Structure 1
Amino acid sequence: MKLTANGIQIEVEDSGGEGRPVILLIMGLGMQLIAWPDAFVQTLVEAGFRVVRYDNRDIGLSQGFDEAGTGNLVWQAVRQRIGLPVRSAYTLQDMANDALGVLDALGIGLAHVVGASMGGMIAQRLAAAAPQRMTSLVSIMSSSGARNLPGPRPDVAAALMRRPASRTEAALVAHSLGFVRLISSPAYPQEERVLTDRITRGLRRAYRPAGIVRQMLAIGADSGREALLARIASPTLVLHGDADPLVPIACGQDTARRIPGARFVSVPGMGHDLPPQVIDILLQHIVPFLQTAEKRA
């Protein structure tokens, strides 16, 4: 269903029913709400929660910002490397305000907020800006944004800038599959058929390459978030794979170090994806953490 949140149209899926404690799921760069595996959502529902997931602005079925253009991504990357401001159509704080708007539109006062990758960055900003709305924070394979942290592995960074050979479905699937393989969990490989089916489903639901670029620029333009993390008062769990080639584990460790009382969990063999075995491991940590935070709220 579409809701008006923070003045824009956001596509939302609401599972589990009213009257339960709420979990808001925020997905990462270019990823739609369906990137949260159904098994992940269903387990949280079975644990007694109401689970809300949504498409971030500019992605999936939510409102786009094509009128803003994309600018020159390579030039903006150069500006970031030399410490100059990156220009973006919107900010991660705008996206955090979208998340808050989703809660407002649904009449939800308090929520556990779970963010993956860029979604973790958005969740961190939400937790710092609106602590009265947070029951707890879970940041998965994300970063504090501090400038001294390591970046993606060189081949992964190069792949981020690469374009598909054409806009045929086959070329787009092959392009996405190649990138997914680069960042996947080495200890938990997935069958190519499963990955291809998942990628195809996402492409057929929505294909928004310009939105991905604008989201990348929003990440690049985000500065000073690391200093805000000390303000986060919510119980916080930080989860990160020790084999993540896109957002190295040092980024998760730094996030946990900066948030008072945060608990850090390293997941051996996990990359920057959510295969079924990793989902099971994450849930073994997330569900008890949320249940404990709920009792203390």
Structure 2
Amino acid sequence: MTVSDELLAPVSPGVELCYQTFGDPAGEPLLLVMGLGGPMTWWPQELCLRLAEAGFHVVRYDNRDAGRSTRMSGRVTTGRLARAFVGAPGPAPYSISDLAGDAFGLLDHLGLGSAHVAGISMGGMVAQTMALAEPGRVRSLTSMMSTTGRRGVGWQSPALLPTLVTPRGPGRDAYIRRALVVWRIIGSPGFALDEAELRRRAGETWDRGIDEAGVLRQMMAVLTQPDRTRRLADLRLPTMVMHGLADKMVHVSGGRATAAAIHGAELVVIPGWGHDLPAALFPTFVRGIRRTADRARRGA
């Protein structure tokens, strides 16, 4: 199995994205878009390899303000964030559309006119926005644990906000301790949490680069996104929506609303699944993404 080194791609003036590929370059391109604050390594390597074995040329990458990609500017205060959380209008350093533009820039860098796109949480919002902006470049869409941007669906448990914005203290050990707290809250109650793996992943995340100011900038992009519901109704591309019934970060109503908005979308709702990627569900994820891509191939 071919696995590339981590590489850098200039995608727009002042923005470089770190990315990595898996599998045969002649395979069907599949772009994996990570969610809020997450580096590309939160798409587990085992899952990427399984997707490559299913016939995809897999591309995972760090969004701006995550991992080894470019850090942006613009300070977001907790007060400003709280106002955005309750729907008060205000400027954001950048938008979900800007993040979608970064993704298209990466496809351009790789010489890919189009790709299958799968996104998690904020990454699902980016993937939906890509399909709306340039539907000819998105072969199929898989939106996982995400939502439409409509305020009345896909809400986050208010109890999570203090945990997400409270300063964690300095250093690697403090980051790992806080990460364990967060993952225990938002993880899947129906699937065993591997604490050793969570510690390893948190340490790897720290080592690849952490920027709490960048997480707040990404959060502002999420909180100020538009409601895509009406525009999603115009999409005509194979779509899979996957969501867990135990998701505390994005309520399952967000997934249901996404599937209801997109013509012909397939909805998969999984009991016990929270806001993570349990290894036990890797076969389900691979089958769903593969099935959706096959619908696109048959349609072509």
Q: Do they superpose with TM above 0.5? A: yes
Q: Which residue of 1 aligns with 2:274?
A: 271
Distance in 1 between residues matched to 2:84 and 2:143, nearest whole Å: 28
SS of residue matched to 2:113: coil
Picking from 259, 262, 283, the partner of 2:262 is: 259
**Amino acid of the structure 1 residue aligned with 2:248:** P
Deviations 1:172-212 (A, max 9, x none): 11011100110000011222111111111111111111110
SS of residue matched to 2:152: coil
**Amino acid of the structure 2 residue aligned with 1:15:** F
Confirm whether residue 78 of structure 1 aligns to residue 83 of structure 2.
yes
Distance in 2 between residues matched to 1:110 and 1:148, nearest whole Å: 32
**Amino acid of the structure 2 residue aligned with 1:163:** P
Equivalent pairs, count: 293
Moved more, 271-280 or 83-92: 83-92
Q: Give matches, 1:54-93, under 5 Å.
A: 54-65=61-72, 68-81=73-86, 83-93=87-97
SS of residue matched to 1:154: coil
Q: Give matches, 1:29-68, under 5 Å.
A: 29-65=36-72, 68=73
Q: Give matches, 1:1-297, under 5 Å.
A: 1-7=7-13, 8-65=15-72, 68-81=73-86, 83-149=87-153, 151-164=155-168, 166-297=169-300
| TM-fit CA distance, 1:12 | 1.1
Q: Structure 1: any 5+ residue segments left out of the alignment?
A: none
Q: 1:220 to 1:79 in 2, by over 3 A?
A: closer
Q: 1:14 to 1:185 in 2, by over 3 A?
A: same
Distance in 2 between residues matched to 1:277 and 1:172, nearest whole Å: 26
What's the % identity of the aligned pairs? Answer: 37
**Amino acid of the structure 1 residue aligned with 2:42:** A
Distance in 2 between residues matched to 1:227 and 1:292, nearest whole Å: 23
C-alpha RMSD of matched pairs (Å): 1.4
Deviations 1:28-54 (A, max 9, x none): 001001110111111111111101111
Q: 1:61 to 1:132 in 2, by over 3 A?
A: same
What stretches of structure 1 move > 6 A for 4+ residues in a row? none
| TM-fit CA distance, 1:21 | 1.1
Q: Structure 2: any 5+ residue segments left out of the alignment?
A: 1-6
8 Å contact kept, 2:148–2:227: no
Deviations 1:66-112 (A, max 9, x none): xx33232323322441x432321111000000001110111101210
Distance in 2 between residues matched to 1:92 and 1:201, nearest whole Å: 26
**Amino acid of the structure 1 residue aligned with 2:199:** T
8 Å contact kept, 1:86–1:220: no
| TM-fit CA distance, 1:263 | 0.9
TM-score normalized by the length of structure 1: 0.94
Q: 1:196 to 1:257 in 2, by over 3 A?
A: same
Distance in 1 between residues matched to 2:194 and 2:126, nearest whole Å: 31
